[in-house]
Structure 1
């Protein structure tokens, strides 16, 4: 549930509310088994889950929150269309004229991988495997090179 952890940290960094007023959790986790050999091991499957993020006593502009969520999804979860994930949902409950409780509901898909490891605990296809945590990494720099092509 790396994507939810990363998104939660991103929102906390934006100081939309005090840290104790922001909570997140997962619901309805499913694993679609794939069992496909991969360059670095075995693609076990895809974990799909619903994530909830709650901001209590939110006093900022709602469009800012929506823009932050939308831009994070565009940057760090670019394959949402491929997985046919629904749009983020925002439930807003007014507390008074200036404060709201906001619940954001999202769905995520994260691949799960195994690496062949003689000391691993997972037995499959006549081999021993170890679980490899999914890392959500972001390239900070990059370059495109062509070899003789225009």
Structure 2
């Protein structure tokens, strides 16, 4: 639930709302097993994408007194920066309930996908493929050069 936490932290920082006025939860989650080998991490430990968790994040801001269009732009800006690969995900939805002349309650619903990556760990709680693993962020090494390939240039 890194993405929902990230969006909540960002909204709290930007809006200045106290934490007591923000409620959030994940709804309608789907687990999609992948079992994709990600190769070794920097320490040589095996890592696997066990699956992908797709869920609806629901965030409620109570007694919000800020500007509506600014709030919408803040959400879209965070998504562009923190979750740029949103192909196939439903666009965020907002529902607003006016409280009085100065405040409203805002519900933001946003669909997220998060990779569930595990790294080999003899003490880990996850049993997979006859070994034990712990949850981890993927550690992917990017090649900076390629050698030994032959072919034609186009």
The TM-score bracket by the shorter chain reads 0.7 to 0.9
**Superposition pairs for residues 1-150 of structure 1, below 5 Å?**
1-39=1-39, 40=41, 41-81=47-87, 84-126=88-130, 128-134=131-137
Q: Any conservation in 2 of the 1:55–1:101 contact (CA below 8 Å)? A: yes
Structure 1 stretches of at least 4 aligned residues deviating more than 6 Å after TM superposition: none
Name which one, 1 or 2, has greater alpha-carbon Rg.
2
Q: 1:18 to 1:122 in 2, by over 3 A?
A: closer
Per the normalisation by structure 1, the TM-score is: 0.81
Q: 1:73 to 1:11 in 2, by over 3 A?
A: same
Separation in structure 1 between the aligned mates of residue 123 and residue 69 of structure 2, nearest angstrom: 50
Q: Secondary structure in 1 aligned to 2:123?
A: coil
Gaps (5+ residues) in structure 1?
Answer: 136-144
Give per-residue Cα distances to partners, 1:10-47, cap 9 Å, x unaligned: 11111343331111111122210001111231110001
Separation in structure 2 between the aligned mates of residue 49 and residue 31 of structure 1, nearest angstrom: 9
Count residues with an aligned counterpart.
134
Q: Secondary structure in 1 aligned to 2:48?
A: strand
CA RMSD of the aligned region, Å? Answer: 1.9
Separation in structure 2 between the aligned mates of residue 134 and residue 30 of structure 1, nearest angstrom: 20
